[in-house]
Structure 1
Amino acid sequence: MVKTMSEVNFNSKAFTYADNALVQKSASEVLLKLLSIQPEEDVLDIGCGPGHITKKIAQVTKGTVQGIDVSQGMIEQAVSSSKELPNLKYSVMDAESFELNTKYDVIVCNSCFQWFQKPEQVLMRCFNVLKEGGRIGVQAPATQSYCPNFISAIEKIRMHPYTREVFSHFKSPWLFFDSKEEYKRLFMNYGFDIIYSELREESNLFSVEQAYKIYQSGAENGYLNQSFYTVTLTDDYISTFRKLVKEAIKEQADSSGMVNLKFERIYLIAKKQ
């Protein structure tokens, strides 16, 4: 059975996530520009991770900024790096079950919507904690071909004689819609007006090592998570899996050693009616 977001363990990535999540940070800049947070607005950052984006938000507004994440390790890292900002606080909370008394002008959901097994629960809670006229901004990988590079690498896992049997017991945890209309419909069903929505294909050149670290910062949290297998993962399986993925990414490099990493992303801004 697929586990809920609260059972996904990101603690081991807490100290490296901010350095390796290059595409997530780049996409967050687009999202924050679209949201245009104002100097007095109160902001909730859902799935804040180690707080590198939350900290940036707290430097834009004098309002209350609250970051929540399911990972204790991520929150500990966020707290330790943000002590100088009095308007910023963090809590360990699951996006699908959080309860907060504060009302917010803005909710930021950067690179985590794809992990929600019960998005309707998340949206109901977001609607409840938004002020009238408040807005929510989401940026996330989208479509079943969310990253052709990673999907191609995983085909190597699916076919390799050592990994194919265990991988056949993997069940994808991700929520991917193939059109912006599906995302819009979901938000509208829970009382939101859509201000902006766009499904983009983004591509950037990275070294093989950078591309592999980007994979580890996101996709690996699903592909090598015991919660999403019905058989036990061994150390040998994990090490072989990583070796094969890195080899596959290396094979994608051009003559100068760079990988053209492509992502499909949804950007959506919605307003509470």
Structure 2
Amino acid sequence: MNQLLIPNNDWDSSLYEDKHAFVWQYGEDLLKLLNPKPGESILDLGCGTGQLTEKIALAGAEVIGIDNAATMIEKARQNYPHLHFQVADARNFQLKQPFDAVFSNATLHWVKPADAAIASIHQALKLGGRFVAEFGGKGNVQAIVKALYTALAEINITAESLNSWYFPSIGEYASILEQHGFDVNYAIIFPRPTPLAEGEAGIKNWIEMFAGSFLAGLSTEQQIQVTQTVEQILKPTLYQEGIWTADYRRIRIFAIKV
């Protein structure tokens, strides 16, 4: 995912591009909501390896991509050397000029507290500027999280404190936006079951890429045990015909700075 805040900030950008391309491929639909125009200034918040930043630029907009993971920014610069990318934290970033729009795909469920990120986004926008975002909403990967909790409990580890995600409801997130000076024009939450690559290894790869906080501090043997337990729990419901499917639930927002 185009992430800004994760444990150790140690993203494997090659694994991200190779096995998890769905992150930006699904994000292309969000670009229709953004509807970038030639000459607009747009910030891509949590740009990852830059694929959607490039698509915004192709619409004729002046775009900057930021991400808190230096490995992602390095890869984005390699992919698109003609674009501008920089390392920055979603909770505390400042850029020279205000933007017509802030765009964020699959990022903000990594960022806590939400208030800090929204305050930074608000100050980055021109009056009347738009904030367009999609990220994990309430109930996102609920089956996977429950399986991780169960697997970790079996080795006497309480998993709640290891959960670094923020999956708000529409009501919760819209309320924070309004408190920070946004008018929420559009908000929806919807299921988006997401097939994972690599066949039988799909859920294992997903856990390694996106749920590393649950495995931090475990021995190699414990990591294998936890992953195998999660597979056993989820296989009857999330594995069919050789393909794992993550139980994603997304929140999508369009808000205006007022």
**TM-score (normalised: structure 2):** 0.86
- Give the letter for the 1:46 counterpart: L
Which range is displaced more, 42-51 or 253-262? Answer: 253-262
Deviation at 1:239, TM superposition (A): 3.1
Q: Which residue of 2 aligns with 1:125?
A: 120
1:93-242 matches, cutoff 5 A: 93-143=88-138, 145-160=139-154, 163=155, 165-168=156-159, 170-177=161-168, 179-206=169-196, 207-218=199-210, 220-224=211-215, 226=216, 232-242=217-227
RMSD of the TM alignment (CA)?
A: 2.4
**What CA deviation, in whole Å up to 9, does each residue of 1:132-165 have, x standing for no partner?**
211111111111x3123413431441342xx3x2
What is the distance in 1 between the residues matched to 2:55 and 2:134? 16
What is the distance in 1 between the residues matched to 2:116 and 2:13? 26
1:1-12 matches, cutoff 5 A: 8-12=7-11
Q: Using a 3 Å threshold, how does the CA distance of structure 1 residues 216 and 116 change in structure 2: closer, same or farther?
A: same
Query: What 5-or-longer segments of structure 1 have no aligned partner?
Result: 227-231
CA contact (8 A) 1:208 1:250 kept: no
Q: Which residue of 2 aligns with 1:75?
A: 73
Deviation at 1:210, TM superposition (A): 3.5
Tell me, what secondary structure is at the counterpart of 2:172?
helix
What is the distance in 1 between the residues matched to 2:205 and 2:47? 19
- Give the letter for the 1:45 counterpart: D
- Give the letter for the 2:95 counterpart: L
Deviation at 1:81, TM superposition (A): 0.9
1:14-93 matches, cutoff 5 A: 14-61=13-60, 63-83=61-81, 85=82, 88-93=83-88
Tell me, what secondary structure is at the counterpart of 2:102?
strand
What is the distance in 1 between the residues matched to 2:186 and 2:127? 18
Count the aligned residue pairs.
253
- Give the letter for the 1:200 counterpart: F
Q: Using a 3 Å threshold, how does the CA distance of structure 1 residues 212 and 252 change in structure 2: closer, same or farther?
A: farther
Tell me, what secondary structure is at the counterpart of 2:14?
coil
CA contact (8 A) 2:194 2:248 kept: no
**What CA deviation, in whole Å up to 9, does each residue of 1:8-43 have, x standing for no partner?**
334342211123334422431222111111122111
What is the distance in 2 between the residues matched to 1:129 and 1:268? 17
Deviation at 1:272, TM superposition (A): 1.0
CA contact (8 A) 1:23 1:214 kept: no
What is the distance in 2 between the residues matched to 1:131 and 1:90? 20
CA contact (8 A) 1:146 1:263 kept: yes
What is the distance in 2 between the residues matched to 1:169 and 1:123? 25
What is the distance in 2 between the residues matched to 1:260 and 1:233? 26
Query: What 5-or-longer segments of structure 2 have no aligned partner?
Result: none
Which range is displaced more, 26-35 or 119-128? Answer: 26-35
CA contact (8 A) 1:20 1:217 kept: no
CA contact (8 A) 2:5 2:111 kept: no
Deviation at 1:242, TM superposition (A): 2.9
